[in-house]
Amino acid sequence: DIQMTQSPSSLSASVGDRVTITCRASQSIRNYLNWYQQNPGKAPKLLINAASSLQSGVPSRFSGSGSGTDFTLTISSLQPEDFVTYYCQQSYSNPYTFGQGTKLEI
Amino acid sequence: EVQLLESGGALVQPGGSLRLSCAASGFSFSSHAMNWVRQAPGKGLEWVSMIIGNGGNTYYTDSVKGRFTISRDNSKNTLYLQMNSLRAEDTAVYYCAKDLLSSNSGYNYWGQGTLVTVSS
């Protein structure tokens, strides 16, 4: 199975900050990497698929990059609604594992 | 408008069975792989199972193999998860999720989730 390791697990930041979350796969997953945002008590929301493809309606302050084993999610200027939890997921091979999550805190 | 509506979650004793359903609308159901993803209380997301559009191939995480069965009825636009031999560690909110493309592309729509509690 492919293991997905996210870092950090939690991150303290302020409104307006630029932050980067890292996701590392235990083997190459090419660009089969997705990023989700989850508000407490709600279903996850797909932000980015295929490592860097921003989904419709997602603000342009979110961006993704990487290929192979190392990936990043960057939020260029944090807004109050961004202080929630983020997950990466590989969709390269079954089982389609998620990272453990990164909680953004003010 | 795409909608996914799960049902069937309940309190069940260890060793018991439950069937979850996910009613889909607003898209070509048979053209997309569908997934079940769960989240234990206070924990992260765990992918559980996937079924491709025509139902011909299914996939499971190791911890549910032999106990859970994913299926779909494309004539009813409905996804199912039959869960047998339930364990305490299966306690979670179960989400159904639609693949963005045919498969392996991320999940762009999710249901609201249904809670399964396994406890005596």
Would you say residue B82 has pLDDT above 80? yes
- Amino acid in position A22: T
DSSP 8-class letter at A98: B
Distance from CA of B34 to the nearest CA of A (A): 13
Would you say residue B8 has pLDDT above 90? yes
Reading the block at residue A102, the tokens are 């990164």
Distances from the Cα of B30 to the Cαs of A35, A83, B73, B82, in angstroms?
Answer: 25, 36, 9, 20
- CA gap A44, B95 in Å, rounded: 9
Confidence of residue B103 (pLDDT cuts 50, 70, 90): confident
How do residues B57-69 score in pLDDT, each as one tens digit? 999 999 999 999 9
Nearest CA in chain B to A31: B105
- CA B102, B103, B106, B108 torsion-angle sign: positive
A38, B45: Cβ pair inside 8 Å?
Answer: yes
How do residues B87-101 score in pLDDT, each as one tens digit? 999 999 999 999 988
Mean pLDDT, residues B30-44 taken together: 96
Q: What is the pLDDT of residue B42?
A: 95
Starting at the earlier edge strand, list the strands of the sheet with A85-90.
A10-12, A102-105, A85-90, A33-38, A45-49, A53-54
Give the count of beta carbons closer than 10 Å to the beta carbon of residue B88: 10
A49, B62: Cβ pair inside 8 Å?
Answer: no
A98, B105: Cβ pair inside 8 Å?
Answer: no
